[in-house]
Chains A and B, each alone.
Chain A
Amino acid sequence: MNIQERLLKFVTLTNWILFITASIAGLIMSPPDFSRGIIFGGLIVTVNFHLLYRTLKKNLSPSHLTSHNVILAKYYVRFFISGLIIFFLISNHYVNPIGLFIGLSVVVASIMLATMVEFKKLFFKEAV
């Protein structure tokens, strides 16, 4: 398996693992609005990541290249919907902002983790 596929698999899996772990930890250890923030934030970014993957995979494979307008429209619709959800969550005080921030960091954390694992592999390979 090449590095790109490995990274994607790792990030996709780690996204869900981190999201579930953070949600359970939030539900056990923090007040309800904080855990709601983690759950909603994590869901928004994880679903966003999957939708972005589907859009790019569908539209950038040479066998069925579609119009760039389709990619742009999908991108903006996705971004608008996530922005709207975050707006409603914050303006109606349904979630704790810090919890939401932690939830939104799930994808970034898993990408960082994947990078660190790859770095580790690289150094380990060089040492051997």
Chain B
Amino acid sequence: MEQFALQFFIACVTAAGFGIAIAAFGCGLGQGMGLKAAVEGIARNPESSGKVTVTMLIGLAMIESLCIYALVISLILIYAHPQAAAIAGLFAKGH
């Protein structure tokens, strides 16, 4: 039983690691592109700084929340999996 629980835990940790890695990669790219465009816009037209900053703020908040979602899911997978005991039990029954 412990062996199967351990297998299940390893699978959860691997999924959490890949999940947050992919999310951070995507969000990093997205935020970087947004920031680049905004800073270029401000450099070309400094008067538009306020408008560009507000638009960028909303975009960044949206992208950042996606990364926080992924972090939450990863932490749930490792520390608070709702069906952990039941799935470990199924593993044990199956073998």
Please give the residue numbers on chain A whose beta carbons come within 8 Å of chain B beta carbons, in ascending order: 2, 4-5, 7-8, 11, 44-45, 48-49, 52-53, 56-57, 60-62, 79, 82-83, 86-87, 90-91, 93, 97, 100-101, 104-105, 107-108, 111, 114
Contact = CB atoms under 8 A, between A and B. Distances in A.
Contacts of B50: 4, 61
Interface string B33-64: 00000110010001101111111111011101
Top 5 nearest A-B pairs by Cβ distance? A4-B54, A62-B46, A91-B79, A90-B75, A97-B76
**Central interface residue in B46, B51, B61, B76, by most chain A CB within 10 Å:** B61
Interface on chain B toward A: helix, strand, loop, or mixed SS? helix
B65 A108 contact: yes
A56 B57 contact: yes
B68 A86 contact: yes
Given A7-B58, A8-B58, A62 B64 contact: no
A100 B64 contact: no
A30 B71 CA distance: 24
Contacts of A91: 75, 79-80
Nearest to B38: A60
Contacts of A93: 79-80
Interface string B74-92: 0110011010000000000
A94 B61 CA distance: 26
Contact of B54 (A5, A49, A100, A104): A5
